[in-house]
Chains A and B, each alone.
Chain A
Amino acid sequence: MTEIPKEEYVLKCTSACAGCSSSLILRYVLKAAGPDTVLVIPACCTSVIQGIYPNTAMNVPIYNVAFAAAAACASGMSEAFQSAGKKTNVIVYAGDGGTVDIGIQALSGAFERKTDFLYICYDNEAYGNTGMQRSGSTPIGARTTTTPGGKTHSKKDLDGIVAAHDPPYMATACSAYPQDLFKKVQKALSIRGPKFLHILAPCPPGWRYSSEKTIEMGKLAVKSGMWILYEREYGKVTINGPSKAAMIKPVPVEDYISVQGRFKGISKEALESLKSQAERNAKRLSLEEKGIC
């Protein structure tokens, strides 16, 4: 097992909801990144989680910036550190809305320019900060406050979009697998250029399950194949252990769906769409891993 440092950079005074996995993810991200790190954070739950001025719950500098601007702001910061000969990690920590919706233009630009930084999208599959509206990353069938009848469109393929920019390293992770997450952050930061982590972040109030089930929810996402843990290093795909196991013997998608209030009353068609999407993703990644695509 990898030794995870004892140092804490997310202090015990956040204003996160009970069972918030996005703050848990950040805890491991910062343990892996260490103190020579700056976080760039667009509007999202983490804008609130970090506390109210003049306090801060993080033990590294945080630069808060406008909702659409994180990747562009980080581009400037990364170039500036380089011009000063500094090796400080520049990490964007953004929600799914700030990534797949309003922030996608800045993200695309920074990756095309081969900016040296790490972009992390923690994906709670909705706009948490503003009270759970749909995002482009909300799965089909999920109820949010702007899709009270269940979302009618599928989740955007963010990883496909990022992969098209051919970054040296990208990976998925999940709050329920902290060792895996920790190693991926370390690996990402050891590589120069634009790196990307897409991390599933189960969210009790948004997904409507009770807060003590947050780890279980992440495990179910992976075990059902609804979330696949993999890495893409210089184009080469590796599916990670837990998802390998899930591909051989998955738990039914229903086991994951039925424990979340947001999927209550989901239509047959939406459920079928979720399942077939999960199957297609698994198949595509397996073929890519074998070098067939």
Chain B
Amino acid sequence: MLTIATGNKAVAAAVRQANPAVIAAYPITPQTEIVEQMAEYVTAGELKSRYIPVESEHSAMAACIGASITGVRTFTATSSHGLLYMHEMINWAAGARLPIVMANVNRALGPGWNVWAEHTDAFQERDTGWLQVFVSTVQEAYDATLMAFRIAEHNDVLLPVMVNLDGFTLSHIMQSLETVNPGDFIPPLHLPHAIDPAHPAGYGTLTGPDDYFKFRWDIERSMRDSVKVIRETEQDFADRFGRSYGMTEEYRCEDADVVVIAMGTLGKEAEVAIDLLRKEGIRAGSMRIRWLRPFPTLDLAGRDVVVIDRDYSFGFGGILAQSLKAKHRCEPYSVIAGLGGQEVTYDDIAGFIRDRKPGEEYWFGVKA
């Protein structure tokens, strides 16, 4: 069905169709619309989920963990300070191998209070064992949320998935949305290690170094296996519903001498910049990284690389630029832009590409 919706409403529509047994909810701008919409569905009887209005995000994730280990589907949504407040439990969810799905509406971190888009919140959770996908349109927010449940719950993965969408520039803007009838696209959840009093076991028991080490390797093995599961899921989604995205969405990259790499809405905005540059005769392309974890492999050989980071690791650099440098041995022009909701237009992005200085870091809008 074709409708129009905000990014938040699109996520809520997908979650409704995934029909989780338990939803834990705590408000925070700019995510609140998602948990409000879930409350509406539940109150109207359109969704049979148990809705737990917890007293904090730490409890939101803990409630999802308690529910998930019984073998049922769970969902929560958060943003920024909420995400960081649940940090301990985020690690716990992955370590306990629970296929929880969470929407995170990317927002800057205080102080000062700032409710606008930035990716540092999600990037600070990058080493926790969660899969993380970043979306760029309302449609993609919906599609990725449906796929997130299937990927998380696949028995070769069994890791939680975070669906990231930019605060306001995606969460609150309206675009067209084609909803689908998922049918059996998301199979019933089978959690092999679900709590079962008929088979008593200790969960999270005191664990010695050798076993602990093995469990960590297990997480990494599943993270590597998830690449195949993501591809299969995307392929099946494309076959059924006609839309696909890829680990990284490439735009006019085939013959590109220079590629710009960004995430979220800025990654989409970059496509407009590419069209502008192509008209000027500059052979530019765009790679929008969708999956931060598992981190993608890109073909960057022989090209100039411009990376836009809407995040930062103080004393180190733009996290995406530095990750690409480490993984691909490239010398990117590292642009730091859009922190705290700073406006970045396609003209600005075209400028970054034109004026690139490989190997240097540039803070957009900061006068030297």
Contacts and interface: CB of A to CB of B under 8 A. Distances in A.
B32 A131 contact: yes
A260 B186 CA distance: 44
A276 B112 CA distance: 44
B35 A146 contact: yes
B208 interface: no
Interface in B9-48: 25, 27-29, 32, 35-36, 39-40, 43
Contacts of B32: 130-131, 133, 145
B56 A130 contact: no
A55 to B, nearest CB: 12
B81 A148 contact: no
A52 to B, nearest CB: 9
Given A133-B32, A148-B43, A68 B56 contact: yes
B242 interface: no
Interface residues of B, number: 19
A68 B85 contact: yes
A147 B81 contact: no
Given A43-B81, A66-B110, A127-B27, A102 B56 contact: yes
B113 A146 contact: no
Contact of A101 (B36, B55, B113): B55
Q: How large is the interface on A (under 10, 10 to 19, 20 to 34, 35 or more residues)?
A: 20 to 34
A136 B110 contact: no
Interface string A136-156: 100000000111110000000
B302 interface: no
A242 to B, nearest CB: 32
Contacts of A64: 110-113
A104 B58 CA distance: 13
A209 interface: no
Given A64-B113, A68-B56, A102-B56, A146 B39 contact: yes
A198 interface: no
The 3 closest A-B pairs by CB, nearest first: A101-B55, A102-B56, A130-B27
Given A43-B81, A47-B113, A101-B55, 14 more contacts: A64-B111, A67-B85, A129-B29, A130-B32, A131-B32, A133-B35, A133-B53, A136-B55, A145-B39, A146-B39, A147-B39, A147-B53, A148-B43, A149-B43
Interface of A: 43, 47, 53, 64-68, 100-102, 104, 127, 129-131, 133-134, 136, 145-149
